[in-house]
């Protein structure tokens, strides 16, 4: 194999799921199904050797199918102390809304669910305002019940491919 040659076209791949670690699986599944409007498809409580190596202490995983993707919500035993503070993590996940109006609907939905008091939020911070840049791209950020950051964006057709 000539390792100095360019790698050529990449094989096909697409996003399959986002894995979300939570301290409270019931709370997390409730919020993800209610907020993203999805359903809990299946749960697992036995795991392969590889999964147990990658996620020490994993006890239960539920897949929620919603918003054009799958969320793999999982929890670990209390004995797991968590990652080293310097461990690299993905910083946020961005979901697209089809219209600027739907973007605002997502923000209002977040606020409505928060105000319901039905969920425990690790970081009870409100979503940011919707900001609109010079190209008409609008976005806001909001945290899930675990404190993980989501961005919602609407990219108008004329701003696509910037
Ligand atoms: Fe982003």
The answer to whether residues 147 and 113 belong to one domain is: yes
Looking at 22, 46, 79, the residue that finishes a domain is: 79
The answer to whether residues 31 and 69 belong to one domain is: yes
Average pLDDT, the chain: 93
Question: Rounded to the nearest whole angstrom, what is the distance from the C-alpha of residue 160 to the centroid of ligand 1?
Answer: 15
Residue 39 has pLDDT above 90, yes or no: yes
The answer to whether residues 50 and 99 belong to one domain is: no
The answer to whether residues 61 and 93 belong to one domain is: no
Work out the average pLDDT over 5-29. 92
Q: pLDDT higher for 129 or 86?
A: 129
45-80 per-residue burial string, b: 16 or more CB within 10 A, e: under 16: eebeeeeeeebeebebbbbbbbbebbbebbbbeeee
Domain that holds residue 62: 1-79
pLDDT, residue 158, reads 85
Question: Rounded to the nearest whole angstrom, what is the distance from the C-alpha of residue 64 to the centroid of ligand 1?
Answer: 22
Q: Which residue has the tokens 């790698």?
A: 7
Distance CA 64, CA 42 (A): 8
Q: Within a domain: residue 6?
A: yes
pLDDT in tens, 140-160: 999 999 999 999 999 998 888
pLDDT, residue 84, reads 80
Ion ligand 1: residues, CB within 5 A, are 94, 151
The total number of structural domains that make up the chain: 2
Q: Which residue has the tokens 């918003």?
A: 67
pLDDT, residue 162, reads 58
């Amino acid at each position: 194999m000539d390792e100095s040659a360019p790698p050529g076209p990449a094989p096909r791949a697409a996003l399959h799921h986002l894995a979300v670690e939570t301290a409270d699986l019931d709370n997390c599944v409730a919020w993800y199904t209610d907020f993203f409007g999805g359903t809990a498809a299946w749960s697992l409580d036995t795991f392969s050797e590889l999964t147990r190596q990658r996620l020490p202490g994993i006890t239960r995983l539920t897949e929620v199918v919603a918003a054009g993707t799958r969320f793999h919500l999982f929890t670990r035993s209390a004995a797991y102390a968590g990652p080293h503070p310097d461990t690299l993590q993905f910083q946020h996940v961005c979901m697209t809304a089809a219209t600027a109006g739907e973007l605002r609907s997502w923000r209002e939905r977040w606020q409505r669910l928060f105000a319901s008091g039905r969920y425990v939020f690790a970081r009870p911070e409100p979503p940011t305002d919707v900001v609109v840049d010079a190209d008409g791209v609008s976005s806001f950020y909001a945290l899930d019940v675990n404190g993980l950051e989501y961005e919602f964006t609407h990219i108008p057709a004329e701003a696509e491919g910037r």
